[in-house]
Amino acid sequence: MADSARTSTRPPALLTLVGLLTIAAMVAMPLLAGAPDAEHVADWVKFIGPFHPVVLHLPIGIVSLALVLEVAGIFSKNKPNTGAGSLVLGLGAASAVVAVIAGFLLYQGGSYEQTDVLGRHLWGGIIFASAAIVTFLAKAWTDAAGGGSWLYKLSLLGTSGVMAFSSHDGGTLSHGPDFLTKNAPAPIRKLLGLPVKEGKGKDGGAAKPVAEKVVYTDVVAPILENRCTSCHNADKVKGKLRMDTYELLVKGGKEGPAIEPGNAAKSNIIVRAELPRDDEESMPPDGKTPLNAQELAVIKWWLNSGADPAKTVADLKAPADILDAIAKLEPVSLKTGTAKTEAPGHEAPGHEAPHGTPAAGPDPDLKKTLAGFAKDFPGSLTFESQQSSAVTFTAVSLRGNLDDKTFEKLTPVLKHFVTADLSATKVTDKSVALLSGSENLRMIRLSETQVTDAAIETLITLPKLESVNLYGTAVTDAGVAKLAALPNLKRLYLWQTKVTPAGIDALKKKIPNCQIVTGA
């Protein structure tokens, strides 16, 4: 097609006819098809539509190339015939038409919000493709006439202009209205007349005093942005719900409105966020960080207060606990846009421990220290869980091989112990005395060892002890009576000791909440 146009000196009448018909067809397309109805379109429409983003960059590239070639042609005096050939322009026009058709099918088949930008992009695309055809025809006619023409150059320029405008609309549709300038540095934002963003500076988002914050815009929206909108936005409309504006929250999705102003308990977002995490319906879904207690508290309070989108914290007379919760919100929640935070020591989302406690994880230095003991104490020292630096000790594998001398080697780590099982070892009161610094110790087993009442003197200095096992030892009434001083003692094992039934009775009276097991 392009070849015949180039070699012919006759006016390209057929080409012109085809071009004009194409323009007419494109213009007629949206007028005839009517409003899009995603539910009832054919599958092939849904199939071809998504090719729009694949194709659309072709005409942009080709038309830009034509423009560059023309500009280069102006400066290149030596070769008067340089400039964009009709082949380039023809390909540009053809790919533009394909992009428009695919785009139109995407529009018909996708569930797009009917907005001004969308309509503008539709017509912008059609005008661009038409302009590309006109430019191509102008070039063809010019070539046929055998001379340069201002009409062609002007129309190329115009095409490029329409292209720039329309493709920006396209970008806005898929990436959001501020996709170009969102992360622009402050000087550029100033130059463009955009407000300079807060929160990028060193003092975080604390620019506004809490009382002046608009609850929705400055507190609630950032939380939603952080936790919800990655799946409920213009691009990704999970459950047909968008959560990026107040109106859309009210409008809701597949399951009705997302919020119920005045009633947090009936608001869908709260219902879903408060489901147990193992519920299928729980939001955010598995793998995403759930809302924390403060965030939930603040959103619930706002909903219960009537969910006014414009009122400030002061207007709604936030009670003290809510003010406290707002203050405790993650710094990231109070900034807009970015999910990154400079708050020191803050864990990345998704690494949060179960039950909402921050994931501390075992201390790496302590880990190394424990590893050093692995040879002498195989399997004995472990961290209580993945989230904790608390150490549990058990001598089950050592039993008779553990004596005071060996146990003393553990002195550097004793203070980390939360449980210590020394059953059936050869340790004596001397080893127990070493535990006087283990103030987090909750459970100790000294059963079937040589310990005596003297060990109890050490035990009563460990206020967190909940379980003390002295079965099979030589402890006596006088010794165990002192255990009454332990405020948290819940279980005491005294089977096969020198403790008498009278001694047990006396102790039971002093610590009624402690279960004393004697084997009787």
* Member of 447, 449, 458, 497 binding other proteins (CB under 8 A): 447
CA angle, 189 as apex, 188 and 192 as ends, to 5°?
85
* Member of 107, 302, 383, 407 binding other proteins (CB under 8 A): 383
**Count of residues that interact with other proteins, criterion CB under 8 A:** 33
* Member of 181, 382, 411, 488 binding other proteins (CB under 8 A): 382
Surface-to-core class of residue 138, CB atoms within 10 Å of its CB (0-12 exposed, 13-18 middle, 19+ buried)? buried
User: Which CB, 153 or 445, lies closer to other proteins?
Assistant: 445
- Give dist(CA 194, CA 190) in Å, integer: 6
CB of 238 to other proteins, least distance (A): 21
CB of 492 to other proteins, least distance (A): 9
Please give the torsion angle defined by the CA atoms of residues 272, 274, 277 and 279, in that order, rounded to the nearest 10 degrees: -50
Report the sign of the C-alpha dihedral through residues 176, 329, 239, 47, in that order. Answer: positive
Q: Return phi, psi of residue 459, to 5°.
A: -60, -40
Surface-to-core class of residue 486, CB atoms within 10 Å of its CB (0-12 exposed, 13-18 middle, 19+ buried)? buried
User: Which CB, 172 or 469, lies closer to other proteins?
Assistant: 469
Type of residue numbered 75: F
Q: Using CB under 8 A, which of the segments 69-77, 117-125, 304-312, 395-403 binds other proteins?
A: 395-403
Q: CA 193 from chain center: how many Å?
A: 31
- Give dist(CA 448, CA 474) in Å, integer: 9
* Member of 183, 397, 411, 488 binding other proteins (CB under 8 A): 397
Q: Using CB under 8 A, which of the segments 86-94, 194-202, 222-230, 386-394 binds other proteins?
A: 386-394
* Member of 233, 289, 394, 461 binding other proteins (CB under 8 A): 394
User: Which CB, 228 or 443, lies closer to other proteins?
Assistant: 443
Tokens of 209: 């005093």
The total number of residues written for the chain in this structure:
520
Query: Is residue 432 within the footprint of other proteins (CB under 8 A)?
Result: no
* Member of 333, 423, 458, 497 binding other proteins (CB under 8 A): 423
Rounded (10°) angle between helices 116-145 and 86-109 = 160
Q: Using CB under 8 A, which of the segments 181-189, 312-320, 396-404, 454-462 binds other proteins?
A: 396-404
CB of 449 to other proteins, least distance (A): 13
User: Which CB, 80 or 287, lies closer to other proteins?
Assistant: 287
Do 104 and 30 touch, CB atoms closer than 8 A?
Answer: yes
CB of 297 to other proteins, least distance (A): 23
Q: Using CB under 8 A, which of the segments 64-72, 185-193, 204-212, 440-448 binds other proteins?
A: 440-448
The strand pairing partners of 31, in sequence order, are none
User: Which CB, 233 or 387, lies closer to other proteins?
Assistant: 387
* Member of 103, 493, 499, 516 binding other proteins (CB under 8 A): 493
- Give dist(CA 199, CA 336) in Å, integer: 8
CB of 367 to other proteins, least distance (A): 9
Residue listed under structure tokens 């020292």: 381
Query: Is residue 362 within the footprint of other proteins (CB under 8 A)?
Result: yes
User: Which CB, 340 or 399, lies closer to other proteins?
Assistant: 399
Q: How large is the greatest C-alpha to C-alpha distance in the chain, in angstroms? A: 124
What is the 8-class DSSP label of residue 365? H
Q: Which three-class secondary structure state does DSSP give residue 469?
A: strand
Tokens of 340: 């990154």
Do 421 and 395 touch, CB atoms closer than 8 A?
Answer: yes
Tokens of 145: 């006439």
User: Which CB, 299 or 390, lies closer to other proteins?
Assistant: 390
Binding track over 264-283 against other proteins, x by CB under 8 A: --------------x-----
* Member of 378, 412, 463, 501 binding other proteins (CB under 8 A): 378
3-state helix, strand, coil in the chain (%, to 5): 50, 5, 40
The strand pairing partners of 381, in sequence order, are 393
Binding track over 453-492 against other proteins, x by CB under 8 A: --------------x-x-x-------------------x-
CB of 359 to other proteins, least distance (A): 11
CB of 255 to other proteins, least distance (A): 23
Q: Which residues contribute to the site for other proteins (CB under 8 A)?
A: 278, 354-355, 362, 378-380, 382-388, 390, 394, 396-397, 399, 423-424, 443, 445, 447, 467, 469, 471, 491, 493, 495, 517-519
